[in-house]
Structure 1
């Protein structure tokens, strides 16, 4: 119990420091959020490379990092389509480079796609300095953080059957359901953000539910990846959380779902 209390304290302290910085960068938007995203991509590329290619991680870090930086920069400058094309091209080049070094082609290419998809979609979601962009990105943060915190609290308090014991023995069905409920409520609440031109409360609640499920799936997926590579944490940069990848694994999946939600909203005549 004392260990759980200490872990919760570290998580809370990290969140108190990181959350305002993240929200401030999102509020600024434009080149500022792109700069933050590029810095995050460098750290994530390093963690991925050290986790997936322990002996030869430095050249893989260079290849994966350059591919990610190029994709984010092009997305900021010209738009989502060009960024996605460059990301796929960069993944192929990183894989070919890894193979030339006698390392896993698949792991290097997958690292670019795994980190790159949410990175370029995040820039697209923020949409420069628009109020609607602030709504979409803030919704993603609110849903992911709410789902993560409530899932941890409910799972630790209620316990019960394990969700996926093979890869993540601490996660429970009670925590999963609590996280879904929290994400749904957070999504509904975000529809009231002033000036965002957001969809209806019910639409935002449904998107919050889907994004919360994606966030927790992302957490489980990263647990499976760490088990595959034989590591406990992706890094040690954030107290109570391990590496940056350990902190944003759920957010990465949630971004993809929210981006799909925005695309549907635009398709059906929404203005966002």
Structure 2
């Protein structure tokens, strides 16, 4: 029986840049998410514009500006509708925006399906993120989203680098391993449980710190596991997209990481799963 190919060695030369970039971006994202309001909206709007620019550059090399503009307008329309509490209209705007982007692409001799998919790829994550933060104790659910997603990424990198072993999906992502996959899932589940631990153990905390945040410990671990799995899936999906478009990175915005899409690929899947978990929690699951 032929053994699976071993993963390539990680390029450690840009590790310092990766850590520095994360140290700058991470706290800024957490602060904006915690306080919500217009800083959070501005953060998302800027992210939408940057992601749309990267998508246009990857998917529409003959007319990147027009496709980027069409995707940006379509996604921002859905984001602003969601921010105003018009969730059904926001999802309708996603569908209408995808169709409009396809028409723009057809008019400039680009592939309509790729332009439409750009809207369908970026918008749902943004709408779910806006909705998640707007729910009761949304700051905690959003914090949990980011911490679990980052834990999955860090755990996968650390365990995969230490243990190496067979590749997870060598055709599209030669550096990802099965050991990293399992390590990432374990770290994500652990982080989910840690966030719910104070309430599960009835540890008294100031109301300003954790005002009645109630989530069953096992439910929190299961959410962490599901969000971690979505993070891995999003990362692999973006690797497949880059292979399809023939690019190494989505861009060069973030030193050591590549483009913004390279940094949030897992988050874009994870936030949808977290939103589903939050909705289930509102219906009584996980208390």
TM-score for the superposition, normalised by structure 2 = 0.90
- 1:51-200 to 2 correspondences below 5 Å: 51-127=58-134, 130=136, 132-191=137-196, 192=198, 194-195=210-211, 197-200=213-216
Q: CA RMSD of the aligned region, Å?
A: 1.8
How far off its partner does 1:269 sit?
Answer: 6.7
Q: Is there any run of 5+ residues in structure 2 with no aligned partner, and where?
A: 1-7, 199-208
CA distance in 1, matches of 2:194, 2:36: 22
Shift of 1:45: 0.3
Does structure 1 conserve the Cα–Cα contact (< 8 Å) formed by 2:33 and 2:40? yes
Q: Which of 1 and 2 has greater Rg? A: 2
Separation in structure 2 between the aligned mates of residue 211 and residue 125 of structure 1, nearest angstrom? 14
1:267 CA drift (Å) = 2.1
Residues 270 and 206 of structure 1: CA distance in aligned 2, closer, same or farther (over 3 Å): closer
Distance, in Å, in 2 between the alignment partners of 1:126 and 1:66 is: 22
The aligned counterpart of 2:237 is 221
Displacement of 1:4 after TM fit?
3.3
Give the 3 Å change call, closer, same or farther, for CA 222–269 of structure 1 in structure 2.
Answer: closer
How far has the Cα of 1:150 moved from its partner?
1.2
Question: SS of the counterpart of 2:254?
Answer: coil
Higher helix share: 1
Cα contact 1:53–1:60 (8 A) shared by 2: yes
| Partner Cα separation in structure 2 for residue 23 and residue 75 of structure 1 | 20
Which consecutive residues of structure 1, in runs of 5 or more, have no partner in the other structure?
A: none
**What TM-score, normalized by structure 1, do the two folds share?**
0.95
Q: Secondary structure at the match of 2:84?
A: helix
Alpha-carbon distance between aligned partners in 1 of 2:98 and 2:171, rounded to the nearest angstrom: 30
Looking at structure 2, the residues matched to 262 and 46 of structure 1 have their Cα atoms a distance apart, in angstroms, of 31
